[in-house]
Structure 1
Amino acid sequence: MSGSEGSSGHSASGGGGAEEVPLPTVAAAAGEKKKEKNRVSRTSMILWHAHQNDAVAVRRLLEEDGSLVRAMDYDSRTPLHVAALHGWIDIAKCLVEFGADVNAQDRWKNTPLADAEGAKKDAMIELLKSHGGLSYGQNGSHFEQKPVPPPLPNKCDWEIDPSELDFSNSNIIGKGSFGEILKAYWRGTPVAVKRILPSLSDDRLVIQDFRHEVNLLVKLRHPNIVQFLGAVTERKPLMLITEYLRGGDLHQYLKEKGALSPSTAINFALDIARGMTYLHNEPNVIVHRDLKPRNVLLVNTNADHLKVGDFGLSKLIRVQNSHDVYKMTGETGSYRYMAPEVFKHRKYDKKVDVFSFAMILYEMLEGDPPLSHYEPYEAAKLVAEGRRPAFRVKGYTSELKELTEQCWATDMNRRPSFLEILKRLEKIKETSSSDHPWHIFTP
């Protein structure tokens, strides 16, 4: 921008009429950029306020810009979809008043009425039908409720009889809008059980995604991925059973320890990168979409080994719970590690995980979450506008800083793959142990 300003200033002083032509072009481009930024921000806000049941804020936004009634998140869900799923009548009435399409379809082909029927919101069903709402999609009441069909032919290998699960001394180790995660015992062994609420176990979309996740998890085998042990699919509540890791999650560990030594941070980063390289392996790429410290687990209290987890259920949570504008309920910390293209409702690929990885690496070295002085939503908004966390500690070599900056590049095509990240981290570890005065890398 500074170069453009200098050029236009020069033509003004020269007095040549022809040279002044680019000025409106530059101004128009800047204006378009500002307009686009404002549009993205307003889109996020109306979806957020619809989710929060804030009818006053929704009406104010629509009065300022009526086109926002057609706003969509990256799953093509409109504010009316959000209102319908939660049963927010005042929000729905306001949206309909401003011309909302009552039969808009999200990327799963669900209409708002299908969502309302799936969530059993009777008043909302009546309201939408009175305005011509039709029920089609995967969630509507025209689907007969059926038992969960076997996700895989050899289901007997991993289907767990719930009577084998001992919850007598269980304790909750995680909670969300989908249900809860408990430490329990299976045949005498401590396990982590992700138990979905019985009411959600009736939802066709939840059943479909649950089957998808089981199909996915049962195939994964890697030392840096939390190991799937089995599932309960024939009775309610639906449950996923994985290995129990005694060390807790990275979020809690960083909260207690603060900034890690560069050697520990790089060793942790290597473990995460190994797990993610496995998940991103072509051609069957698994995009985590919610990589953050809470979803990275320590194998034991010695904190010498990490595993990536919750990539399966995190997608399930987001899909079933209002197909959230991102993940607005539960752990809003997801915003803090969110890639700008996700926040802006743009198309994204596996490089969203690389961005989140950069934020985690930064947090491990700095000791504070990225942009910690801002609320998660505000932090994500600033990141989408181009802001990045400032490097403060001395633990960054130039190579480590450069890698972090490349991983959080605005242009996702400039971000390295996890395989490349892995190779570069190994090289940084190797060279730093001999060349750097820290002497932090222990053999």
Structure 2
Amino acid sequence: MEIAAQLKRGISRQFSMGSLRMSGKFSFKRQNSLDPRCNTLRFGFGRQSSMDPIRRTPQEELSVPENLDATMQLLFMACQGDAKGVQDLLDDGIDVNSIDLDGRTALHIAACEGHVEVAKLLLSRKANIDARDRWGSTAAADAKYYGNVEVYNILKARGAKIPKIRKTPMTVSNPRDVPEYELNPLELQGTYQVAKWNGTKVAVKILDKDSYSDPESINAFKHELTLLEKVRHPNIVQFVGAVTQNIPMMIVSEYHSNGDLGSYLQKKGRVSLSKALRFALDIARGMNYLHECKPDPIIHCDLKPKNILLDSGGHLKVAGFGLIKLSKLSHDKAKLLQSDKQIDRSSLYVAPAVYRDEIFDRSVDVYSFGLILYEMVEGVQPFHPRSPEDAARIMCLEGKRPTFKTKSKHYPLDLKELIEECWDPEAVTRPTFSEIIIRLGKIVANCSKQGGWKDTFKLPWV
């Protein structure tokens, strides 16, 4: 009875499952209880799926427990080879394609155990011959794996397909070496770029198919994953997981329907001082976290409004880091690995040292931050209406900086001084993000004391 109780508690739902086809759409319904690394009790008797990475020991000689969920009764009878019991349940209206927590049907179970009569009965009741479990295995694949030739031949004669296992450049030989962040691509629902996970929208970045044979692209993919896996901060885009053991390989992160700061500024123009300071604090906190990562700081190198996302609560999250390949010269010194391929010199936010392919440090991100803060308060990009490419050349090669046009009442003097220090030609003059956070906090406090907008801006420490 204890087994029955545990099994019943482990059942979350039952429903019919059609054949899943990789047509560019995904179902992303992963639950923690479905993680193969968890010890949640599932269908704990009989042979497991041929593609399950965890080798489980089946429990032998179990009589059917009472009070079992109908789906579990069907799977139990299929496991025992009890064709009469299976028929009775189907006659009572149990769906022949009901699944357990691992997406396994009675046909999967019968194929694993080699019960020919049960398999024939299930097929006569229109069991889905190509239904896949959560690991992508079909009944035919299971029958073949366990050497149940007669069941396999029956399924093959009915047109069953064996899923092809395509290895990726990151495929591991030992299933226990599968990364903790690994996701099952069959659990994604939606279109590429945007999918759902536990009912929440997520962003999906897919590795281009031409990159699988390119070692540099694979190394860049691995590097990005390494960084995303270790960073956790409210002002950094949240990493959800990745697909590395199946094709297509992909990175999944949180999705923000409000878009990026670049689109926001293009639509709104100049934002209020209170919002500009709040946004600036969000960016500074996220960047300070990246710069203080151990053992080595994460230098963004491509900080720009398009790489800053706006969440539903009106806060900003830094994204797009880890994409620039760097050659680390020391703890805080680096150089571009391939400048011609990586840097977009039409981006006006690129720092002079990066633009000129020189050795640089974390201050290149502070330079970009200064230009972003300028744009938020001024409402236009530096040197507008010149093209971004011209503006970048003027600032990086000629050393010029844009002028401040907004009236002084909208531009506290200490904020102007902070921006000028951020984009100073000398890297050593630029403040760190930890210093920027302190100075922005003082500006917020001073503006709040003046009473102009204290009701519309909450102090960051409140």
User: If the length of structure 2 is used for normalisation, what is the TM-score?
Assistant: 0.56
| Deviation of the 1:188 alpha carbon | 3.2
| Deviation of the 1:439 alpha carbon | 5.9
1:391 pairs, out of 404, 408, 415, with 404
In the alignment, is residue 356 of structure 1 matched against residue 378 of structure 2? Answer: no
Decide whether aligned partners of structure 1 residues 146 and 188 sit closer, same or farther in structure 2, where only a CA change above 3 A counts: closer
In the alignment, is residue 230 of structure 1 matched against residue 241 of structure 2? Answer: yes
* SS, match of residue 242 in structure 2: strand
* SS, match of residue 342 in structure 1: helix
Match of 1:148 in 2: 170
In the alignment, is residue 306 of structure 1 matched against residue 316 of structure 2? Answer: yes
In the alignment, is residue 204 of structure 1 matched against residue 234 of structure 2? Answer: no
1:375 pairs, out of 387, 397, 410, with 387
Match of 1:165 in 2: 188
Which of structure 1's runs of 4+ aligned residues deviate more than 6 A? Answer: 319-322
Query: How is 1:11-160 mapped onto 2 (pairs within 5 angstroms)?
Result: 147-148=169-170, 155-160=178-183
Give the percent of matched residue pairs that are identical in Structure 1 and Structure 2: 45
1:285 pairs, out of 282, 289, 297, with 297
Q: Tell me the alpha carbon deviations over residues 277-325 of structure 1, each in whole angstroms, 9 at most, x when there is no partner.
A: 100005420001100000000111x5x2110011134559xx9997535
Note the residue ranges of structure 1 that are not aligned, 5 or more in a row: 1-144, 172-181
Match of 1:254 in 2: 265
Aligned length: 279
Decide whether aligned partners of structure 1 residues 296 and 261 sit closer, same or farther in structure 2, where only a CA change above 3 A counts: same
Contact 1:165/1:187, CA 8 A, preserved across alignment: no
Match of 1:403 in 2: 418
Q: Which has the larger radius of gyration?
A: 2
Q: 1:218, 1:283 → 2: CA distance? A: 15
* SS, match of residue 312 in structure 1: coil
Q: Tell me the alpha carbon deviations over residues 348-407 of structure 1, each in whole angstroms, 9 at most, x when there is no partner.
A: 111110000001001111111122222222211100211111111122111000000000
Decide whether aligned partners of structure 1 residues 232 and 146 sit closer, same or farther in structure 2, where only a CA change above 3 A counts: closer
Letter of the aligned partner of 2:254 in structure 1?
E
| Deviation of the 1:442 alpha carbon | 3.2
Contact 1:205/1:320, CA 8 A, preserved across alignment: no
Match of 1:52 in 2: none
Q: 2:340, 2:249 → 1: CA distance? A: 21
Q: 1:320, 1:198 → 2: CA distance? A: 25
Q: 1:344, 1:274 → 2: CA distance? A: 28
In the alignment, is residue 415 of structure 1 matched against residue 430 of structure 2? Answer: yes
Match of 1:191 in 2: 202
Contact 2:182/2:244, CA 8 A, preserved across alignment: yes
User: If the length of structure 1 is used for normalisation, what is the TM-score?
Assistant: 0.58
Match of 2:127 in 1: none
